[in-house]
Structure 1
Amino acid sequence: MKNKYIDLIEQTFEFPQDEFTVEDNELYFHEVPLMDIIKQYGTPLKISYLPKISQQINRAKRMFNVAMAKVDYKGSYNYCYCTKSSHFSFVLEEALKNEINLETSSAYDIHIINALYESGLINKDIYIVCNGFKRPQYVENIANLINSGFTNTIPVIDNKQELDLLDIIEKPCQIGIRIAAEEEPKFDFYTSRLGIRYNDIIPYYKERIKNNKKVKLKMLHFFINTGIKDTAYYWNELHKCIQVYCELKKLAPELDSLNIGGGFPIKNSLAFDYDYEYMTEEIVAQIKNVCNANGVEEPNIFTEFGSFTVGESGAALFSIINQKQQNDRESWYMIDSSFMTTLPDIWGINQRYPLLAINNWDKEYQRVFLGGLSCDSEDYYSGEAHSNAVFLPKLTPGETQYIGFFHTGAYQESLGGFGGIQHCLIPAPKHIIIDRDKGDNEYYTRLFAKEQSYRSMMRILGY
């Protein structure tokens, strides 16, 4: 009878997978033995596997370049990393090894750009796409960038009044316009609060930009909140965007770039199925076809990939510290941290991640609920993306069960308030970085952050 945890995984999914293998009933992540990591650092533990970041960037570049070659696309492809997905220095340092550009969303992002330049990690030719609602400090910081020689900094106009704020920029400036896309039907509203309405873009260009000697329209920016998906909704919005680009291009010959923000999804389950190559080829072909039909030269394509860049590099490892049988059907495994503080997307937007046992793959499995340490009733995890249930090995007295949530590298630290005050004063866990030597390709680890101390919390609270 096949009732072991490894049997369940192998019967349910195509397994092993690229990043997950099992040896001696223990899980390996990108060929890194996670039990060795746990023995060295303990749990709870956040890990960042840096090589995955470069792999994702080069994967996207390869897919777009192949898609462009297939249809003889004339424009260029430009990869941008969205800093808001993870602002950590080790993420930016790894991403910038791959000749990418950057996207910012707030005033303090610009200080990161300056720090990267001072460290020699970027030069002033890099594209800096500045999105977000522009407050005066954000515009001042953008102006300082442009005035200091970052000539490819592109403030993207989010509302009609922002152009007036750009008067403090001394040099001629390239700008973009963001389209206010229509949202999916499930939203409470029809049109995004971000950007300028489709029907207002052409009149706005004629009235405010066409004869403005201080600015030159470089980019039309299109963003879908739910990301790039093979749905009628996405293709319809993309088609409308390309049509606006063509109309605008006929009036603004200086316009040469289309930014299709809203990135590729990442694997949220071992059952995840997404045809990246097909989607890339279809996007490129549609842009070319609509432009050709309108007699317009194809634009340079910019993408803004945040979660796709960094998400699959991250993981969170926990110990099961107790089992509670609350009724006949509900068995709870209590973890040594809190979902609300460590993986806030779980309770905030019901996000699901690949969840796997780290050890004991040869043990029988059972259905469980996972509970966090906080006193909040929302601090739990009860189902995976492919199933409204969680199955893990049965506990063995005297032997600790370890589990891992994977592909957690985007947004969780910033949303969880890294280094700040956590719900119920539960400390932020240790965070380690895993990288590989260029010579022998052996992995090595280094501690990025210790577990948060009570003293740091007390200082923040004023004690």
Structure 2
Amino acid sequence: MKTKYIDLIDQTFYFPQEEFTLQNNELHFHGVDLMALIAQYGAPLKFTYLPKISENINRAKSWFETAIKANNYAGNYNYCYCTKSSHFKHVLNEALKNDIHIETSSAFDIDIVENLKAQGKITNDTYVISNGFKRDRYVKNIARLINNGHHNCIPIIDNYEELNLLGDEIEKDFQVGIRIASEEEPKFEFYTSRLGIGYKNIVPFYNDQIKGNPKVKLKMLHFFINTGIRDTAYYWNELLKCLKVYINLKKICPSLDSLNIGGGFPIKNSLAFDYDYQYMINEIVNQIQKACEEARVDVPNIFTEFGSFTVGESGGAVYEVLYQKQQNDREKWNMINSSFITTMPDTWAINKRFIMLAINRWDREYERVLLGGLTCDSDDYYNSEQHMNAIYLPKYKKEEPLYIGFFNTGAYQETIGGFGGLQHCLIPQPKHILIDRDDQGNITTEVFAPQQTSEQLLSILGYQNMVSESSDEQTNEKVLLQSSNPLI
């Protein structure tokens, strides 16, 4: 009878997989020995496997190159990284090794762009696509970047006021894009995205504010829908509506030469994940080609802004099961030594699913469990609602520590969780490890951030004076004790 955890995984999924392998009943991730990582750094911990970032960028580039050749497409392709997915320096450094461009969403993003320029990571030829609702600070930062010679900074107009605000600050000629306010899926609580300008209003907006303005050229039309790039009637319908706008604009605006289809590539959230990236890209390129040929207009250069796809599959989190609580005759709670709310906020905020696997003890019998975090919040759990299937793990034994891993957590979790800041119930942020490979392919690791300390949290809360006073009192008390010790 097959009752071991390895039997369960093997009969449920195709296993091993490209990134997941097993050695001596212990899980390896992209060849990284996770138990060795735990032995060196302890648990809980978070990690970023940097080579996966470059791998995914180059996969997407290859898919688009194949599709462009197959369709004899006359335009080119530009890969942009959506920085809001993860702003960390190590992420940008890895991504920028691959001849890519940047998409920004707020004023401080421009400060990061200028920092990267100062380091020589990007140049004035790097496209900086500036999305988001723009007000004073963001407008001024964009203007500063363009005024200092970054000719390929393209602010994407999100509302009717932004063009004038930018024009007042930018001293030279500049290019812009316009974002389409796409219509949402029928199940959404609202009909139209709050971002961008409506389909029917874009051509009038161009005629009124851009066409006669000698300082501004319209270069790009921006299209994105919340559900991402998926093979659904809804997606294809919205794409065709976008192409009609592009064609109508192109006929009256020769400078328009680019279509930005945004982000939205899904990432692997289960061992059963199945998505035909090449098919979707082929079909998108083909649809653009056909629409433009029928209308007898030049095809646009294609831009994408992949964020989660770029960085999501590089991240992971490792926890130890501290204790098991049998709450009734059916529910067993495995308590982890951290918190889902603080370390993976998407699990409770939007019921986000991640790949979850045991790291060790794959040769042991399995049991059905629920996973609970350390906080006193009833929402601090991870169960079948998020995980798609019931959660099964090797049977808990106090004398045999059990470690579990969550994978493909690299997008958004640190920024949404407030990296370096307060954590719910003051559960400390775990240690964060960067994993890379040297020129010979050997695995290297370094600590990016140690686990948060109570002093750091108390300082944020305004107790810094009390902390230093307490330390002084302890020091004084120690001096007094030493001076009163007859043996000194």
Q: What letter matches 1:150 in structure 2? A: H
Provide the rounded CA distance (Å) in 2 between the counterparts of 1:257 and 1:397: 60
Provide the rounded CA distance (Å) in 2 between the counterparts of 1:140 and 1:385: 42
Question: Does residue 399 of structure 2 align to residue 411 of structure 1?
Answer: no
Q: What letter matches 2:278 in structure 1? A: E
Q: What letter matches 1:428 in structure 2? A: Q
Contact in 1 for aligned 2:178/2:220 (Cα 8 Å): yes
Deviation at 1:383, TM superposition (A): 1.5
Aligned to 1:142: 142
Contact in 2 for aligned 1:355/1:384 (Cα 8 Å): no
Contact in 2 for aligned 1:319/1:402 (Cα 8 Å): yes
Give ranges in structure 1 of 5+ residues lacking alignment: none
Q: What letter matches 1:181 in structure 2? A: S
Aligned to 2:207: 206
Aligned to 1:223: 224
1:323-362 deviation per Cα after TM superposition (whole angstroms, max 9, x unaligned): 0000000000000100000000000000010000000000
Aligned to 2:175: 174
Aligned to 1:397: 398
**Secondary structure of the residue that 2:384 maps to in structure 1?**
coil
Provide the rounded CA distance (Å) in 2 between the counterparts of 1:177 and 1:402: 48
Q: How many residues align?
A: 462
Deviation at 1:385, TM superposition (A): 6.2
Aligned to 2:99: 99
Deviation at 1:263, TM superposition (A): 2.1
Q: What letter matches 1:38 in structure 2? A: I
Aligned to 2:14: 14
Deviation at 1:395, TM superposition (A): 1.5
Contact in 1 for aligned 2:5/2:394 (Cα 8 Å): yes
Q: What letter matches 1:95 in structure 2? A: A
Aligned to 2:129: 129
Deviation at 1:457, TM superposition (A): 0.8
1:56-113 deviation per Cα after TM superposition (whole angstroms, max 9, x unaligned): 0000000001000001000000000000000000000000000000000000000100
Q: What TM-score, normalized to structure 1?
A: 0.99
Aligned to 2:88: 88
Provide the rounded CA distance (Å) in 2 between the counterparts of 1:109 and 1:156: 14
**Secondary structure of the residue that 1:277 maps to in structure 2?**
helix
**Secondary structure of the residue that 1:220 maps to in structure 2?**
strand
Provide the rounded CA distance (Å) in 1 between the counterparts of 2:431 and 2:80: 29
Aligned to 1:251: 252
Contact in 2 for aligned 1:260/1:304 (Cα 8 Å): yes
Contact in 1 for aligned 2:353/2:387 (Cα 8 Å): no
Aligned to 1:55: 55
**Secondary structure of the residue that 2:66 maps to in structure 1?**
helix
Aligned to 2:164: 164
Aligned to 1:266: 267
Provide the rounded CA distance (Å) in 2 between the counterparts of 1:356 and 1:385: 14
**Secondary structure of the residue that 2:93 maps to in structure 1?**
helix
Deviation at 1:119, TM superposition (A): 1.1
Question: Does residue 285 of structure 2 align to residue 284 of structure 1?
Answer: yes
Aligned to 1:36: 36
Provide the rounded CA distance (Å) in 2 between the counterparts of 1:185 and 1:123: 42
Rate the CA distance shift 1:374–1:386 in 2: closer, same or farther, 3 A.
closer
Aligned to 2:307: 306
Q: Which has the larger radius of gyration?
A: 2
Contact in 1 for aligned 2:347/2:386 (Cα 8 Å): no
Provide the rounded CA distance (Å) in 2 between the counterparts of 1:429 and 1:399: 22
Contact in 2 for aligned 1:269/1:384 (Cα 8 Å): no
Contact in 2 for aligned 1:63/1:280 (Cα 8 Å): yes
Higher alpha-carbon deviation: 255-264 or 380-389: 380-389
Provide the rounded CA distance (Å) in 2 between the counterparts of 1:342 and 1:113: 27
Aligned to 1:324: 325
Q: What TM-score, normalized to structure 2?
A: 0.94
Aligned to 1:190: 191
Identity of aligned residues (%): 65
Aligned to 1:297: 298
Deviation at 1:388, TM superposition (A): 3.4
**Secondary structure of the residue that 1:96 maps to in structure 2?**
helix
Aligned to 2:78: 78
Deviation at 1:399, TM superposition (A): 1.2
Higher alpha-carbon deviation: 75-84 or 114-123: 114-123
Contact in 1 for aligned 2:320/2:337 (Cα 8 Å): yes
Provide the rounded CA distance (Å) in 2 between the counterparts of 1:387 and 1:309: 24
Aligned to 1:69: 69
Q: Please report the RMSD computed on the Cα atoms of aligned residues, expressed in angstroms.
A: 0.8
Question: Does residue 376 of structure 2 align to residue 370 of structure 1?
Answer: no
Provide the rounded CA distance (Å) in 1 between the counterparts of 2:107 and 2:330: 51
Provide the rounded CA distance (Å) in 2 between the counterparts of 1:39 and 1:22: 17
